[in-house]
Structure 1
Amino acid sequence: MLRTVAGMKVTGEAFGPRLRTALDALRLGMRAVDSAIARPLHPGLEVLAGLLADRAIPRRQSGSRLQRAYPAGGVCLHGTGLHPGLMVEQVLLRMTALLDEVHEVRFLEVGDLSAAPDGMWGGLESLGFGMPLPAVDSGHAIGLMQHFYFDAVLGDVAHALYGAWSDAVRVERHLYPVPARVRVRAGGTVVEPGTVGAIHMIYRGYLGDHLFMTNEECWHVGQGNAHLGQDHPSSPAGGHVITLDGHPGTIEMRNEMDAEAYSADWSAVTDISVAAMLGVVPELCAAPPGVVMPDLRPHYLLESS
């Protein structure tokens, strides 16, 4: 983990002025650890590194403590949103019921971040937008931060489709920047042509050598800088593509926003996320204490006269 953090790239000021100094010191430390002189000390250094990493970035705790707390407090917990939440854990997984066998699934989300407030994620510069192209790659902080929860999404899909546990899932991350074509001012950030105008993030989930899911995020600033690949939504305002490959065939669903009706005063991501949250309130109020999860099994109602 420390070696991964040592190679992390940061832009903007979201992490504070001391982080770059700390990363420089960590890189020097890792060079010393990897030297021939320090090789005999590696077993002890591994233990020490684990303790240091746990203090800086605590490992996720198991859910047992929460499970004990729900009945004591008489509360329910449910997490949702557009993605993670609704699009994969409910829409995509419900669609897989149409196939006899599921070999591979793909989810692509495309969005325009030009309406994002300056304080969101520390500002667009902290995400890499408006920066020189070499500043953004698979080691950029935004890729590592998203890895934290997209690996959980991939783990959920692996368990739902194949009964595998998340520790059996291997996740590979790949990020690349796309140069801006037009000048855009978004809040306090100015994106000039030739700087980072779009970022494509890819997270591939494997069970052994089997690629079972690809999760892709493609963000841009301004519709004129939309990265519209052949398999992307055709709307510069953004959208989603779900692809299921299996037997007896392939299923694809596209959701494309109306670019002409798009307004910075309205965000589909926010609207859908809030609708999902409000929609679950009655079920949460009626449920006994505990974790409330989506039920992907078919539901039927008996017709009454």
Structure 2
Amino acid sequence: MDAGTIAKRPATGVLATNQIEDILALDADIVIHTSRITAPYAEQNADVARRLASGKNVISINGFYMPQVHGAAYANPLRAAAEQGQATLAGIGVNPGVIAERLALTLSGLMASLDHVECLEVVDCSNVPSADFLFGVLGFNSDLAQSDIRKGPLAQLYTDLYSETFAYMAEAWGTKVRSITPAHRMTLAPEHIHIQAGVIETGHVAGTEWRWDAVFEDGRTMTHSLLWTIAPQLHADGEGAHWTISARGRPNITISLTISDPDPNAPHSRPAMDMTAAVLIRAIPDVCAAAAGFYPLPKAQLPFKERFL
């Protein structure tokens, strides 16, 4: 079916299919893998491996920055499939992918010494139209008394995903992760909150902050936090930057990143979707040119003092 038809827009000439066999049969250089990530984390791997084995490079927004972090049983089938198809598997995205892995690393390269890095994300989900996505995948309207999503498969999914971010930072800094401690925080609705996708009931989850504190072998620490909310007014800052990245040491550095759409009536999520699409598209030539296997890490960006000692 034409992709334009699915999107309720004019025909594009780009055909869509829901059969993976159709994709495998194509003589394509690369597959952009943007399926909805669901628990358990490894659920997506079999399809990704089939694409790699068929000779197609794969760029995915669902992790795969450092598959080896999860052990040989997780990583080896993906590596074997890539080698079979002489293809490359690359994890590319914004968060994960840019916020810590590019911007925080860049800040660390400006410092004489580094003690702590903190990456904070804030996303307004109030006008996301999909009830299945908000209430199912993201966990909004959960009753923590009935099911504490901070301790369930959803929390484990995000921990698995962002453990690769911490490992990525450690590799770039020339160290290893000693520990990752979840510190998730939920915001409950003080009253019924009506949004486009439905109703958040009183006392149910209206904001999810997935948060982890990591300690590295060299003594540095890092916090990574993702606050997704349907009611920004319930949080201390209300409105502010979409991302705030801080590095503490000598000197202390903080940057804020705010994104917006030129159309004031556009969905809140569109600027982030545009950013993600841009990152994926720009990565295509590099991934296609890379050696078979896992896409390599960037060169280490150590703080100044540690580069020369």
User: Is the structural similarity TM-score above 0.5?
Assistant: yes
2:226 is aligned with 1:204: no
2:123 is aligned with 1:111: yes
For the residues of structure 2 that align with 1:192 and 1:113, how far apart are their CA atoms? Answer: 16
For the residues of structure 1 that align with 2:143 and 2:84, how far apart are their CA atoms? Answer: 52
Paired residue for 1:254? 256
Give the structure with the larger helix fraction.
1
User: Which residue type is aligned with residue 216 of structure 1?
Assistant: S
SS in 2 for 1:61: helix
2:97 is aligned with 1:94: no
Asked if 2 retains the 8 angstrom alpha-carbon contact of 1:125 and 1:131, the reply is: no
User: Which residue type is aligned with residue 293 of structure 2?
Assistant: G
Q: Deviations over 1:244-278 (max 9, x none)?
A: 1122x111110124499363275233221111110
Q: Which consecutive segments of 4 or more residues in structure 1 shift more than 6 A?
A: none
With over 3 angstroms needed to count, the CA separation of the structure-2 counterparts of 1:194 and 1:66, relative to structure 1, is closer
Among candidates 171, 195, 204, match of residue 185 of structure 1:
195
Asked if 2 retains the 8 angstrom alpha-carbon contact of 1:179 and 1:197, the reply is: yes
Q: Deviations over 1:209-254 (max 9, x none)?
A: 94511011111014445x244xxx833xx6001101122x111110
Paired residue for 2:243? 240
User: Which residue type is aligned with residue 250 of structure 1?
Assistant: N
Asked if 1 retains the 8 angstrom alpha-carbon contact of 2:135 and 2:142, the reply is: no
For the residues of structure 1 that align with 2:166 and 2:180, how far apart are their CA atoms? Answer: 8
Structure (1 or 2) with the larger CA radius of gyration: 1
For the residues of structure 2 that align with 1:125 and 1:148, how far apart are their CA atoms? Answer: 18
User: Which residue type is aligned with residue 184 of structure 1?
Assistant: H
User: Which residue type is aligned with residue 90 of structure 1?
Assistant: R
What is the TM-score of this pair, normalised by structure 2? 0.63
Among candidates 276, 280, 284, match of residue 283 of structure 2:
280
For the residues of structure 2 that align with 1:192 and 1:65, how far apart are their CA atoms? Answer: 44
Deviation at 1:89, TM superposition (A): 1.2
SS in 2 for 1:138: helix
- 5+ unaligned residues in a row in structure 1: which ranges? 1-13, 16-57, 299-305
| Identical residues among aligned pairs (%) | 19
Deviation at 1:171, TM superposition (A): 0.9
SS in 2 for 1:82: coil
Paired residue for 1:174? 183
For the residues of structure 2 that align with 1:103 and 1:252, how far apart are their CA atoms? Answer: 14
SS in 2 for 1:83: coil
Count of aligned pairs between the two proteins: 230
C-alpha RMSD of the superposition: 3.2
With over 3 angstroms needed to count, the CA separation of the structure-2 counterparts of 1:97 and 1:112, relative to structure 1, is same
2:167 is aligned with 1:155: yes
User: Which residue type is aligned with residue 195 of structure 2?
Assistant: R
What is the TM-score of this pair, normalised by structure 1? 0.64
SS in 1 for 2:242: strand
For the residues of structure 2 that align with 1:102 and 1:215, how far apart are their CA atoms? Answer: 16
Deviation at 1:191, TM superposition (A): 1.1
2:270 is aligned with 1:267: yes
Among candidates 229, 233, 237, match of residue 220 of structure 1:
229
With over 3 angstroms needed to count, the CA separation of the structure-2 counterparts of 1:290 and 1:137, relative to structure 1, is closer
